[in-house]
Amino acid sequence: MGFAEANGKFYCATSRHIYLRHDGATCRWEEVYFNPKETSPVGIRGLTGVPNPSGHGEVLIFVALACVRTLDPSNGHAVSLELDIPGFVSRQLGVPVTWVLAAYNRFTPCRVSGDGSSVWLFGFESIYPKRFIESTPKPNVRVFVRDAKEPKLHFAVEARYLVREMSGAGIHYRMGTIADSVGRALVAARAISPSPFPGDNALFIGGFDCNDQPSHSTGWIYRGKINITK
Protein backbone atom coordinates (compact mmCIF):
# COMPACT_ATOMS: atom_id res chain seq x y z
CA MET A 1 0.00 0.00 0.00
CA GLY A 2 2.91 2.39 0.45
CA PHE A 3 6.54 3.05 1.36
CA ALA A 4 7.92 5.79 3.62
CA GLU A 5 11.16 6.93 5.18
CA ALA A 6 11.37 8.25 8.74
CA ASN A 7 14.51 8.94 10.80
CA GLY A 8 16.62 7.31 8.09
CA LYS A 9 14.65 4.06 8.32
CA PHE A 10 12.54 2.47 5.60
CA TYR A 11 8.97 1.30 6.16
CA CYS A 12 6.21 -0.28 4.08
CA ALA A 13 2.49 -0.66 4.65
CA THR A 14 0.26 -3.53 3.57
CA SER A 15 -3.48 -3.94 4.03
CA ARG A 16 -3.10 -4.61 7.78
CA HIS A 17 0.59 -4.29 8.64
CA ILE A 18 3.42 -1.78 8.79
CA TYR A 19 6.92 -3.25 8.50
CA LEU A 20 10.35 -1.78 9.27
CA ARG A 21 13.27 -2.83 7.05
CA HIS A 22 16.52 -3.66 8.83
CA ASP A 23 19.45 -3.12 6.46
CA GLY A 24 22.44 -5.38 6.17
CA ALA A 25 24.03 -8.09 4.07
CA THR A 26 20.96 -10.15 4.92
CA CYS A 27 18.10 -7.71 5.40
CA ARG A 28 14.92 -8.52 7.26
CA TRP A 29 11.52 -6.93 7.80
CA GLU A 30 10.05 -6.42 11.29
CA GLU A 31 6.33 -5.98 11.96
CA VAL A 32 5.83 -2.78 13.96
CA TYR A 33 2.06 -2.35 13.55
CA PHE A 34 -0.89 -4.65 12.91
CA ASN A 35 -4.56 -3.75 12.60
CA PRO A 36 -6.66 -6.94 12.42
CA LYS A 37 -9.89 -5.03 11.71
CA GLU A 38 -8.65 -3.28 8.56
CA THR A 39 -10.00 -4.69 5.29
CA SER A 40 -7.98 -5.48 2.18
CA PRO A 41 -10.04 -3.34 -0.25
CA VAL A 42 -9.14 -0.30 1.85
CA GLY A 43 -5.95 -1.10 3.74
CA ILE A 44 -3.47 1.10 5.56
CA ARG A 45 -3.01 4.17 3.40
CA GLY A 46 -0.97 7.35 3.19
CA LEU A 47 2.15 6.15 5.01
CA THR A 48 4.37 9.25 5.31
CA GLY A 49 7.18 10.45 7.56
CA VAL A 50 6.42 13.80 9.23
CA PRO A 51 8.05 15.84 12.02
CA ASN A 52 7.34 14.54 15.51
CA PRO A 53 5.02 16.98 17.34
CA SER A 54 7.26 16.51 20.39
CA GLY A 55 10.13 17.98 18.38
CA HIS A 56 12.30 14.85 18.35
CA GLY A 57 12.84 13.26 14.96
CA GLU A 58 9.97 11.99 12.84
CA VAL A 59 6.85 9.91 13.26
CA LEU A 60 4.93 7.95 10.65
CA ILE A 61 1.45 9.15 9.81
CA PHE A 62 -1.15 6.99 8.08
CA VAL A 63 -4.88 6.23 7.85
CA ALA A 64 -6.38 3.01 9.19
CA LEU A 65 -10.07 2.33 9.91
CA ALA A 66 -10.94 5.85 8.68
CA CYS A 67 -8.78 7.52 11.32
CA VAL A 68 -5.50 9.41 11.04
CA ARG A 69 -2.93 7.71 13.27
CA THR A 70 0.74 8.21 14.10
CA LEU A 71 3.43 5.64 14.83
CA ASP A 72 6.32 6.89 16.97
CA PRO A 73 9.59 4.97 16.42
CA SER A 74 11.22 6.78 19.35
CA ASN A 75 8.59 5.34 21.70
CA GLY A 76 8.59 1.69 20.75
CA HIS A 77 6.43 2.40 17.69
CA ALA A 78 3.56 3.48 19.94
CA VAL A 79 0.37 4.32 18.03
CA SER A 80 -1.70 7.44 18.69
CA LEU A 81 -5.10 8.41 17.29
CA GLU A 82 -4.94 11.86 15.73
CA LEU A 83 -8.27 12.35 13.92
CA ASP A 84 -11.57 10.50 13.52
CA ILE A 85 -12.19 11.54 9.91
CA PRO A 86 -15.92 10.65 9.56
CA GLY A 87 -16.69 12.44 12.83
CA PHE A 88 -14.71 15.53 11.80
CA VAL A 89 -16.23 15.69 8.31
CA SER A 90 -19.76 15.18 9.72
CA ARG A 91 -19.27 18.18 12.01
CA GLN A 92 -17.86 20.31 9.19
CA LEU A 93 -20.72 19.51 6.79
CA GLY A 94 -23.55 19.33 9.29
CA VAL A 95 -24.72 16.02 7.77
CA PRO A 96 -23.87 12.44 8.78
CA VAL A 97 -20.87 10.83 7.09
CA THR A 98 -20.56 7.18 8.01
CA TRP A 99 -17.42 6.10 6.15
CA VAL A 100 -14.41 7.53 4.33
CA LEU A 101 -11.53 6.20 2.28
CA ALA A 102 -8.68 8.63 2.81
CA ALA A 103 -5.05 9.30 1.85
CA TYR A 104 -5.06 7.18 -1.30
CA ASN A 105 -1.36 7.80 -1.87
CA ARG A 106 0.40 9.81 0.83
CA PHE A 107 0.23 12.94 2.95
CA THR A 108 1.54 15.65 0.60
CA PRO A 109 3.67 18.43 2.16
CA CYS A 110 2.87 21.94 0.97
CA ARG A 111 4.61 25.21 1.82
CA VAL A 112 2.59 27.86 3.66
CA SER A 113 2.52 31.40 2.33
CA GLY A 114 4.47 33.80 4.50
CA ASP A 115 6.55 31.80 6.96
CA GLY A 116 7.57 28.95 4.61
CA SER A 117 6.46 26.23 7.01
CA SER A 118 4.65 23.13 5.77
CA VAL A 119 1.18 21.67 6.04
CA TRP A 120 0.16 18.23 4.80
CA LEU A 121 -2.73 17.54 2.44
CA PHE A 122 -4.64 14.36 1.61
CA GLY A 123 -7.87 13.63 -0.22
CA PHE A 124 -10.76 11.34 0.61
CA GLU A 125 -14.13 10.04 -0.53
CA SER A 126 -17.12 9.69 1.78
CA ILE A 127 -20.46 7.92 2.11
CA TYR A 128 -23.78 9.21 3.40
CA PRO A 129 -26.01 6.70 5.22
CA LYS A 130 -28.86 5.21 3.23
CA ARG A 131 -31.46 6.21 5.83
CA PHE A 132 -30.37 9.86 5.59
CA ILE A 133 -30.68 9.93 1.79
CA GLU A 134 -33.99 8.10 1.72
CA SER A 135 -35.58 10.09 4.53
CA THR A 136 -34.71 13.47 3.03
CA PRO A 137 -36.69 14.14 -0.17
CA LYS A 138 -34.35 16.89 -1.31
CA PRO A 139 -31.22 16.60 0.79
CA ASN A 140 -28.69 19.35 0.78
CA VAL A 141 -26.23 16.88 -0.71
CA ARG A 142 -25.59 15.35 -4.10
CA VAL A 143 -24.55 11.74 -4.45
CA PHE A 144 -22.85 9.33 -6.81
CA VAL A 145 -24.88 6.16 -6.34
CA ARG A 146 -23.26 2.78 -6.68
CA ASP A 147 -26.21 0.62 -7.70
CA ALA A 148 -24.43 -1.86 -9.94
CA LYS A 149 -23.32 -3.88 -6.94
CA GLU A 150 -24.85 -4.59 -3.55
CA PRO A 151 -25.00 -2.97 -1.18
CA LYS A 152 -26.13 0.24 -2.87
CA LEU A 153 -23.96 3.07 -1.56
CA HIS A 154 -24.29 6.85 -1.71
CA PHE A 155 -20.95 8.58 -2.24
CA ALA A 156 -20.56 12.35 -1.99
CA VAL A 157 -20.26 13.91 -5.46
CA GLU A 158 -17.69 16.49 -4.33
CA ALA A 159 -14.02 15.65 -4.00
CA ARG A 160 -12.76 16.80 -0.64
CA TYR A 161 -9.40 17.07 1.06
CA LEU A 162 -8.01 17.79 4.50
CA VAL A 163 -5.21 20.14 5.46
CA ARG A 164 -3.15 19.05 8.47
CA GLU A 165 -1.42 21.90 10.32
CA MET A 166 1.15 21.58 13.07
CA SER A 167 1.80 24.46 15.45
CA GLY A 168 4.32 23.39 18.06
CA ALA A 169 2.90 20.21 19.56
CA GLY A 170 -0.64 21.15 18.48
CA ILE A 171 -2.29 19.54 15.43
CA HIS A 172 -5.21 21.17 13.63
CA TYR A 173 -7.23 20.17 10.58
CA ARG A 174 -9.18 22.10 7.96
CA MET A 175 -11.34 20.76 5.14
CA GLY A 176 -11.51 21.90 1.54
CA THR A 177 -13.89 20.99 -1.29
CA ILE A 178 -13.42 20.86 -5.04
CA ALA A 179 -16.79 21.79 -6.56
CA ASP A 180 -17.09 21.07 -10.27
CA SER A 181 -18.60 23.97 -12.21
CA VAL A 182 -20.83 21.75 -14.37
CA GLY A 183 -21.86 19.29 -11.69
CA ARG A 184 -19.77 16.27 -12.63
CA ALA A 185 -19.21 13.60 -10.01
CA LEU A 186 -15.65 14.04 -8.75
CA VAL A 187 -16.10 11.63 -5.79
CA ALA A 188 -12.49 11.35 -4.60
CA ALA A 189 -9.27 13.36 -4.57
CA ARG A 190 -6.67 10.64 -5.00
CA ALA A 191 -3.41 12.42 -5.81
CA ILE A 192 -2.15 15.86 -4.76
CA SER A 193 1.02 17.63 -5.84
CA PRO A 194 2.37 21.18 -5.65
CA SER A 195 3.30 22.45 -9.09
CA PRO A 196 6.92 21.62 -10.02
CA PHE A 197 7.12 24.51 -12.48
CA PRO A 198 9.25 27.55 -11.48
CA GLY A 199 7.18 30.46 -10.20
CA ASP A 200 3.93 28.51 -10.41
CA ASN A 201 2.29 28.72 -6.99
CA ALA A 202 -0.37 26.15 -7.84
CA LEU A 203 -1.64 22.80 -6.69
CA PHE A 204 -2.60 19.87 -8.91
CA ILE A 205 -5.27 17.45 -7.65
CA GLY A 206 -6.48 14.42 -9.59
CA GLY A 207 -9.00 11.75 -8.91
CA PHE A 208 -12.27 9.82 -9.12
CA ASP A 209 -13.16 6.40 -7.73
CA CYS A 210 -15.63 4.18 -9.57
CA ASN A 211 -16.29 1.99 -6.50
CA ASP A 212 -17.20 -1.04 -8.64
CA GLN A 213 -19.62 1.07 -10.70
CA PRO A 214 -19.25 1.03 -14.53
CA SER A 215 -17.79 4.47 -15.27
CA HIS A 216 -16.44 6.13 -18.40
CA SER A 217 -14.55 9.40 -18.99
CA THR A 218 -14.62 10.17 -15.29
CA GLY A 219 -10.97 10.78 -14.35
CA TRP A 220 -10.10 14.42 -13.74
CA ILE A 221 -7.29 16.85 -12.91
CA TYR A 222 -7.89 20.24 -11.32
CA ARG A 223 -5.33 23.01 -10.99
CA GLY A 224 -5.80 25.71 -8.37
CA LYS A 225 -3.83 28.42 -6.70
CA ILE A 226 -2.43 27.62 -3.30
CA ASN A 227 -3.71 30.01 -0.64
CA ILE A 228 -2.86 28.28 2.62
CA THR A 229 -1.92 30.54 5.50
CA LYS A 230 -1.61 30.06 9.24
Work out the pLDDT band at 139, boundaries 50, 70, 90. Answer: low
Residue pLDDT, tens place only, 179-229: 788 889 999 999 999 999 998 888 999 999 999 888 899 999 999 886 665
| Average predicted confidence (pLDDT) for the chain | 90
Judge whether residue 106 has pLDDT over 80. Answer: yes
Judged against a pLDDT cut of 90, whether residue 58 lies above it is answered with yes
pTM assigned to the model: 0.91
Q: Is 122's pLDDT higher than 90?
A: yes
Asked whether residue 86 carries a pLDDT value surpassing 80, the answer given is yes
What's the confidence (pLDDT) of residue 55?
80
- What is the C-alpha to C-alpha distance for residues 26 and 49, in angstroms, rounded to an integer? 25
Considering only residues 88 and 142, tell me which one the structure prediction assigns the higher pLDDT. 88
pLDDT of residue 225: 80
What type of residue sits at position 188? A
d(CA 81, CA 144): 30
Per mean pLDDT, which range of 9-13, 15-19, 109-113, 191-195 is the poorest? 109-113
For residue 229, the model assigns a pLDDT of: 58
The H or E element containing residue 133 is: helix 130-135
What are the contacts of 54-61 at 24+ separation with CB within 8 A? 54/169, 55/169, 57/6, 57/7, 58/6, 58/7, 59/6, 60/4, 60/6, 60/11, 60/18, 61/107, 61/120, 61/164
| pLDDT higher than threshold 60 for residue 132 | yes
Q: Where are the domains of the chain?
A: 2-225
